[in-house]
């Protein structure tokens, strides 16, 4: 089985103080840590597990700048066979649609039985690339997948819905899955694998190889901003305990308890 | 020295950092209190290849260099000082001497199990009456036929309670003082070898620190590491390497104190604003961060010297340990100050970090000994 | 410093008690988190709780310097017992002594001085540590009673105290001016002791949360005038800093004592440790710094005894004694080597105990601010 996993390198912003840069369209990234997008690590792990089970090849692809190669190399160390970086710097501003088109331009020439992506990227929260890519490639897809079983040419994909419901979809390969976090336990690369991966070539594809004429964005980013604090809003700060006590107080004050 | 990590060093740091944050950090407070040896996590470090970082691949190791070793130890120590020490001992005090001084048979026999965590390593040098003074060693070994008979007691041996393979130093001729010391590989189930008291230490409490007791313990002749009388040279050579890693532990512990302090300074308010706004707190944070950076470069530099194959780099490695330990103790102290009363309680990790830091000034040669090493090298 | 016969004799008396009765208990008090009821009783019998209190209130009618010497000598062998003596005398007894009415003194001060009741001082709050103006505990007058609501934290002896001097505000918006002091008795309705802290050191000292939920305090238990709580606690803290300075000094001296003993008994390469220059270098440094700290602490006590301003000197004494005490306990461990980290020797306990001296009753950072303000002129 030949598998493709699409991954993205994103800044870790969950616990950082995020500030907007002078362009107004990006955040200041100087002191942020970067890592593989969270749900992509699960997508990659799912792809590795399938490859280990059915044998075949696993190619990881990322649309990103030079630094994304660090993340691709980690994917190689974890078990991918080949890595491709699509040079983000060659294609200007990217929305989900444009990113999907770039991926399609590369993937259409590769053998693929299954494609895995994360269900959402924690930097832009578009949650579009996987599904759009499947549509562009004209293949079935399932989003927010929490379990996959393969039986011959049929894939059973399970999706978690609101209210504790599970949805079971059947589809035939080739197909694309956007993977939800928690579907598996992503592995860490062993030191030996890291040393070997560090020596591997990463294929780089840019504007020379991809005809960018027809590849356009559907939307453009106007600006990033922090919403003004509303008059009725109270921002709680302090330790968890303190915030908890305060919330309890407010609930009491408002007579909600 | 190149200030840029190589690709594999960078990847190693990223991966070990993530691993340590996810698996090592959550258990740190609990094992500090219970003193339970963290086997579950040590097995995981073994799976990643962290128990044989500098051991060649053919013996089951990861084949990395000494800066990489320091990077990994720093990341583990940042999350849990006990785990950092356990892994550091296995790497620089046990696998390293076998790699550097072992015969081909010894390497094949002992390294794979040390790297896989099947048999963890411990290093028996210190004695009740000979700490930093190796020449005062009282443990003896005498050859009888095919075996050495070892008698004596070792104390303050990290990992000892859980280890399977021990590097043990004993005097084969006490008249020769340090020139009479030899090194042996001792297996846990050797007749006449038993464990003594489990130390109740102030810090790094989950490290199975025990006494080793040898009563006519019979060690096969082929378990002599190096030649008879080479023990002192081996010990000094090994300590040069392991002091790099004590420096790395120090940097990791200090970094965790800084991280906790920065977090606290942002969330804690006094006089109507976060305490991080106060110059006195800023002053401490700035000092802490600078001290850590300086110590880290001393560690890397000592690792670089070893990577280059410099025959003697005692001064550099002693500097790395001495300075690292000094600043770790100071940074942890400041961290508690920043936390105020909360820093004195077990509700915040800084209390544990403060206790963990102190041992850095003591083991593998106290800070006083490090200064003597540095000064002697300068005066040579 | 030549203090004279009177002080020397007193010191000898306390030393005798400390060595014979306290030192032997120190290790187990720490290891088992044991509150030393037996030693509290003995200190009461020896009259250590009211050294500076006039005889008419059950005290010894001596002075603050004598008291500082007592704290120093007890702390020299056991930090937990020392902190109890310091907290009970400086934080329990003292505010009643300076601000209590005659009636309050009869009712509360005398039993505290006699050690029949245990005293404590409820100032620190979860959100108001060194910043006492941030007090959030409120007290509102309703008829004959004040109704108090709020939580205090890190209160030494809080869980065992019978009498607590409490600070609370009429309105948190008023800052210092809204704060009053009250006397609370154990058993008053709506008052309970909350969680006990699990601490780095001073493990035989009980540090608790105090929780007030609509706690009703009789109007006559107001200590001092309404809105003058700030004055009461500032004076209490100034005095308390002398006692923490004395305790820091005592623990540092204990570390020095242990180091001298250890280096006399042990040898390296056949040479007694104490004959080595590198060891002498460190012992000399410790001894000098501790002696300097002693002068600062005693000086503050003497100023107080003479009725002169001593805010700056008390802060200097606490800051410096805890700083050099911390260094001394750390050095003492280093002189012991790995043995110093084990419970077989007292030095690791000294280090853990001493650390509080840099934090309690205003961190070192706060002391420096106090000193700087005094030096620079407000």
What is the nearest CA distance from B329 to chain C, expressed in angstroms? 9
Same domain, B316 and B179: no
Q: Which of B212, B229, B246 is the last residue of a domain?
A: B229
Q: What percentage of chain C carries pLDDT values higher than 70?
A: 99
Nearest-Cα residue of chain B relative to residue A35: B14
Do C186 and C105 share a structural domain? no
Whether the CB-CB separation of C74 and C248 falls below 8 Å is answered with no
What one-character DSSP code corresponds to residue B27?
A: G
Pair B44, B76 in one domain? yes
Span between the terminal Cα atoms of chain A, in Å: 57
Kindly indicate the confidence band of residue C270, based on its pLDDT and cuts at 50, 70 and 90.
confident
Q: What is the CATH number of the domain that holds C323?
A: 1.20.140.10
What confidence tens digit (pLDDT) does each residue in C121-147 have?
A: 999 998 887 777 788 999 999 999 999
Does the N-terminal peptide bond of residue A174 adopt cis geometry, omega within 30 degrees of 0? yes
Whether residue A192 is found in the same domain as residue A232: no
A130 and A33 assigned to the same domain = yes
B204 and B252 in one domain?
no
Q: Which of B10, B18, B267 sits opposite A239 (nearest CB)?
A: B267
Q: Does any domain span residue B356? A: yes
Q: Inspect the interface and report whether the beta carbons of A198 and B57 lie closer than 8 Å.
A: no
Q: Please determine, for residue C153, whether its predicted confidence score (pLDDT) is greater than 60.
A: yes
Decide if pLDDT at C158 tops 70.
Answer: yes
Asked if residue B2 belongs to a domain, the reply is no
Side-chain-side CA neighbours of residue B82 (13 Å): 30
| A242: chain C residues, CB-CB within 8 Å | 126-127
CA distance A241 to chain C (A): 10
Q: Which residues of chain B have pLDDT under 50?
A: none
Specify the pLDDT at position C160.
Answer: 95
Pairing of strands B193-198, B210-220: antiparallel
CB contact under 8 A, B11 and A188: no
Is C129 close to B272, i.e. CB distance below 8 A?
no
From C113, C129, C151, the end of a domain falls on: C113
Which residue segment(s) compose the domain that C314 sits in? 230-376
Residue A211, domain member (yes or no) = no
Q: Per the domain annotation, does A222 fall within a domain?
A: no
Asked if C281 and C337 sit in the same domain, the reply is yes
Q: Which residue has the tokens 């853990």?
A: C352
Residue A255 lies in a domain: yes
What CATH number does residue A82 fall under?
A: 3.40.50.620
Co-location of C208 and C262 in the same domain: no
> How high is the pLDDT of residue B120?
98
Report the chain B residue with the minimal C-alpha distance to residue A12: B18
A220 in any annotated domain? no
- Whether A180 and A249 map to the same domain: the answer is no
The answer to whether residues B302 and B347 belong to one domain is: yes
A42 and A145 in one domain?
yes
Residues C236 and C353 in one domain: yes
CATH (domain of B218): 2.40.110.10
Shared domain check, B374 and B358: yes
To the query of whether residue C361 is one of the catalytic residues in this protein, the response is yes
pLDDT in tens, A109-138: 999 999 999 999 998 888 999 999 999 999
The answer to whether residues C186 and C295 belong to one domain is: no
Which residues contact residue A12 at a Cβ distance below 8 angstroms, ignoring those fewer than 6 apart? A32, A33, A34, A35
Task: Give dist(CA B380, CA C11) in Å, integer.
Answer: 51
Binary contact (B132, C337; C-beta < 8 A)? yes
C53 & C95 share domain: yes
Residue C83 tokens read as 């902190």
Instruction: Tell me how many domains chain B contains.
Output: 3
Q: Check whether residue B129 and residue B218 sit in a common domain.
A: yes
- pLDDT per residue as tens, chain A (257 positions): 999 999 999 998 887 778 898 888 888 888 888 999 999 999 999 999 999 999 999 999 999 999 999 999 999 999 999 999 999 999 988 999 999 999 999 999 999 999 999 999 998 888 999 999 999 999 999 999 999 999 888 999 999 888 889 999 999 999 999 999 999 999 999 999 999 999 999 999 999 999 888 888 888 888 898 888 766 667 777 777 878 888 888 887 777 76
Domain boundary among C80, C97, C113: C113
Q: How far apart are CA A237 and CA B265, in angstroms?
A: 12
A180 and A245 fall within a common domain: no
In a domain, A214, yes or no: no
Residues B245 and B345 reside in one and the same domain? yes
pLDDT of residue B177: 87
Last residue of a domain, one of C91, C113, C135: C113
CATH number of B28's domain: 1.10.540.10
Residue that the structure tokens 């759009």 belong to:
A132
Residue A203, class by beta-carbon neighbours within 10 Å (0-12 exposed, 13-18 middle, 19+ buried)? middle
Residue B344 sits at the chain C interface (C-beta within 8 Å): yes
Q: Is residue A69 part of a domain?
A: yes
Number of domains into which chain C is organized: 3
The token duo for B200 is 């109740």
A242 reaches C (C-beta below 8 A): yes
Which residues, other chains included, contact B376 with Cβ-Cβ below 8 Å and sequence gap of 6+?
none
Residue of C nearest to B177 (CA): C269
Which residue segment(s) compose the domain that B78 sits in? 7-120
Same domain, C177 and C281: no
Residue where a domain stops, chosen among B58, B87, B120: B120
pLDDT at residue B131, as a whole number: 66
Same domain for C251 and C328, yes or no, is yes
Q: Is residue A151 part of a domain?
A: yes
The whole-angstrom separation of Cα A146 and Cα A164 is 13
Q: What is the DSSP string of C198-234?
A: -BSS-TTS-EEEEEEEEEEEEGGGEESSTT-HHHHHH
Whether residues C84 and C164 fall in one domain = no
Identify whether residues B166 and B287 lie together within a single domain.
no
The Cα–Cα gap between C179 and C135 comes to 8
pLDDT in the model for residue B132: 64
Share in percent of chain A as helix, strand, coil (round to 5): 30, 25, 45
Q: What is the pLDDT of residue B191?
A: 96
Question: How many angstroms separate the CA of residue B348 from the nearest CA in chain C?
Answer: 10
Query: Is residue B1 in some structural domain?
Result: no
Are residues B50 and B100 located together in one domain of the fold? yes
B249 and B338 in a single domain? The answer is: yes
C189 and C272 inside one domain? no
Residues C71-87 as b or e (16 or more Cβ within 10 Å = b): bbbbbbbbbbbbbbbbb
- Same domain (yes/no): A119, A193: yes
Q: Which of B120, B148, B169 is the last residue of a domain?
A: B120
Encode pLDDT of C185-239 as tens digits.
Answer: 999 999 999 999 999 999 999 999 999 999 999 999 999 999 998 888 889 989 9
CB–CB contact B8 A194 (8 Å): yes
Provide the number of CB pairs (under 8 Å) joining chain B to chain C.
107
Does one domain contain both A151 and A106? yes
- Note whether C365 and C279 are same-domain residues: yes
Same domain, A137 and A240: no
Per the document, the length of chain C is: 378
Residue C378 has pLDDT above 60, yes or no: no
Boundaries of domain holding A120:
2-205
Residues A244, A124, single domain; the answer is no
Count of structural domains, chain A = 2
Q: What is the pLDDT of residue A250?
A: 81
Q: Which two tokens stand for residue C23?
A: 């030192």
- A241 and A129 in one domain? no
Pairing of strands A175-179, A114-118: parallel
Token pair 């000098």 is at which residue? Answer: C288
> Is A111 among the domain residues?
yes
Best interface-test mutation with A: which of B9, B11, B43, B273 has the largest number of A CBs within 10 A? Answer: B11
Query: Tokens 């890595």 identify what position?
Result: A83
Q: Which two tokens stand for residue C62?
A: 């001596």
Tokens 């965590």 found at: B117
- Tell me B178's DSSP state: G
* Same domain flag for C183 and C128: yes
**Within an 8 Å CB–CB cutoff, is residue C300 touching chain B?**
no
Residues A200 and A232 in one domain: no
CATH for C70: 1.10.540.10
């Amino acid at each position: 089985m030949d598998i493709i996993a699409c991954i993205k390198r994103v800044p870790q912003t969950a616990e950082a103080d995020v500030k907007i840069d002078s362009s107004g369209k990006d955040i200041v990234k100087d002191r942020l840590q970067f890592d593989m997008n969270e749900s992509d690590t699960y997508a990659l792990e799912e792809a590795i597990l399938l490859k280990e089970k059915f044998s075949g090849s696993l190619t990881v692809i990322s649309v990103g700048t030079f630094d994304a190669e660090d993340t691709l190399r980690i994917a190689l160390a974890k078990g991918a066979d080949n890595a491709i970086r699509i040079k983000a710097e060659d294609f200007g501003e990217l929305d989900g649609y444009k990113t999907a088109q770039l991926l399609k331009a590369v993937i259409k020439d590769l053998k693929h039985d299954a494609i895995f992506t994360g269900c959402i990227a924690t930097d832009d929260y578009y949650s579009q690339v996987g599904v759009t890519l499947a549509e562009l490639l004209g293949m079935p897809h399932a989003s927010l997948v929490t379990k996959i079983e393969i039986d011959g040419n049929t894939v059973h994909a399970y999706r978690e819905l609101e209210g504790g419901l599970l949805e079971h979809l059947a589809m035939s390969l080739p197909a694309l899955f956007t993977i939800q976090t928690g579907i598996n336990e992503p592995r860490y690369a062993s030191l030996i694998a890291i040393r070997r991966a560090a020596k591997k070539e990463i294929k780089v594809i840019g504007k020379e190889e991809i005809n960018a004429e027809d590849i356009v964005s559907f939307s453009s980013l106007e600006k990033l901003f922090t919403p003004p604090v509303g008059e009725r809003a109270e921002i709680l700060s302090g330790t968890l305990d303190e915030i908890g006590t305060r919330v309890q107080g407010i609930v009491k004050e408002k007579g909600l308890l | 020295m190149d200030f840029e990590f190589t690709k594999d060093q960078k990847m190693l740091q990223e991966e070990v950092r993530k691993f340590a944050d996810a698996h090592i950090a959550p258990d740190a407070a609990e094992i500090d209190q219970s003193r339970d040896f963290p086997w579950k996590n040590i097995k995981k470090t073994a799976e990643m290849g962290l128990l044989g970082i500098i051991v060649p691949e053919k013996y089951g190791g990861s084949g990395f260099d000494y800066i990489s070793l320091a990077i990994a130890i720093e990341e583990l120590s940042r999350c849990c000082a006990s785990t950092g020490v356990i892994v550091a001992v296995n790497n620089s005090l046990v696998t390293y001497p076998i790699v550097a001084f072992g015969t081909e048979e010894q390497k094949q026999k002992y390294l794979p199990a040390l790297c896989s965590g099947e048999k963890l390593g411990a290093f028996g040098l210190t004695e009740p009456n000979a700490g930093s003074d190796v020449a005062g060693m009282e443990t003896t070994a005498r050859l009888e036929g095919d075996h050495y008979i070892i008698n004596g007691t070792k104390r303050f041996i990290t990992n000892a309670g859980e280890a399977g393979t021990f590097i043990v130093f004993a005097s084969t001729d006490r008249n020769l003082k340090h020139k009479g010391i030899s090194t042996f590989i001792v297996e846990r189930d050797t007749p006449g070898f038993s464990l003594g008291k489990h130390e109740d230490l102030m810090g790094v409490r989950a490290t199975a620190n025990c006494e080793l007791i040898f009563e006519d313990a019979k060690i096969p002749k082929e378990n002599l590491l190096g030649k008879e009388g080479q023990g002192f040279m081996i010990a000094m050579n090994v300590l040069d390497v392991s002091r790099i890693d004590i420096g790395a532990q120090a940097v990791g512990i200090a970094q965790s104190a800084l991280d906790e302090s920065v977090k606290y300074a942002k969330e804690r308010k006094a006089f109507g604003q976060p305490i991080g706004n106060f110059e006195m707190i800023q002053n401490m944070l700035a000092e802490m961060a600078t001290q850590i950076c300086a110590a880290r470069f001393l560690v890397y530099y000592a690792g670089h010297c070893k990577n280059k194959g410099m025959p003697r780099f005692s001064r550099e490695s002693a500097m790395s340990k001495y300075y690292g330990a000094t600043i770790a103790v100071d940074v942890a102290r400041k961290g508690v100050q920043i936390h105020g009363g909360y820093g004195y309680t077990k509700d915040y990790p800084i209390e544990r970090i403060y206790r963990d830091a102190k041992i850095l000034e003591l083991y593998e040669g106290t800070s006083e000994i490090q200064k003597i090493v540095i000064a002697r090298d300068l005066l040579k | 410093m030549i203090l004279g016969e009177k002080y020397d004799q007193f010191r000898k008396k306390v030393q005798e008690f400390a060595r014979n009765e306290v030192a032997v208990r120190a290790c187990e008090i720490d290891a088992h988190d044991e509150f030393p009821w037996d030693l509290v009783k003995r200190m009461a019998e020896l009259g250590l709780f009211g050294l500076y209190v006039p005889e008419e209130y059950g005290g010894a009618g001596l002075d603050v310097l004598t008291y500082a010497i007592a704290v120093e000598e007890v702390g020299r062998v056991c930090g937990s017992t020392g902190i109890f003596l310091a907290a009970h005398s400086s934080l329990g007894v003292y505010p009643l002594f300076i601000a209590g009415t005659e009636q309050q003194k009869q009712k509360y001060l005398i039993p505290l001085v006699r050690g029949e009741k245990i005293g404590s001082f409820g100032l620190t709050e979860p959100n108001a540590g060194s910043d006492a103006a941030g007090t959030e505990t409120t007290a509102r007058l309703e008829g004959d009673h004040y109704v108090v609501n709020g939580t205090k934290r890190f209160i030494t002896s809080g869980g065992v105290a019978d009498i607590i001097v409490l600070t609370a505000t009429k309105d948190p918006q008023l800052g210092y001016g809204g704060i009053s002091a009250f006397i609370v008795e154990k058993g008053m309705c709506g008052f309970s002791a909350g969680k006990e802290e699990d601490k780095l050191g001073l493990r035989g000292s009980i540090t608790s949360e105090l929780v007030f939920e609509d706690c009703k305090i009789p109007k006559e238990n107001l200590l001092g005038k309404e809105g003058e709580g700030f004055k009461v606690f500032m004076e209490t803290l100034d005095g308390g800093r002398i006692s923490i300075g004395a305790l820091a000094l005592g623990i540092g001296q204990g570390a020095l004592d242990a180091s001298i003993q250890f280096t006399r008994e042990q040898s390296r390469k056949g040479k007694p440790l104490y004959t080595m220059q590198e060891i002498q270098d460190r012992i000399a440094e410790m001894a000098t710094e501790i002696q300097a700290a002693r002068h600062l602490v005693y000086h503050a006590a003497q100023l107080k005894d003479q009725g002169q301003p001593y805010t700056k000197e008390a802060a200097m004494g606490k800051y410096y004694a805890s700083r050099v005490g911390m260094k001394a306990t750390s050095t003492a461990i280093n002189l012991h080597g790995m043995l110093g980290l084990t419970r077989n020797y007292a030095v690791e306990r000294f280090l853990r105990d001493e650390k509080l001296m840099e934090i309690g009753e205003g961190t070192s950072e706060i002391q420096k601010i106090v000193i700087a303000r005094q030096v620079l002129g407000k």
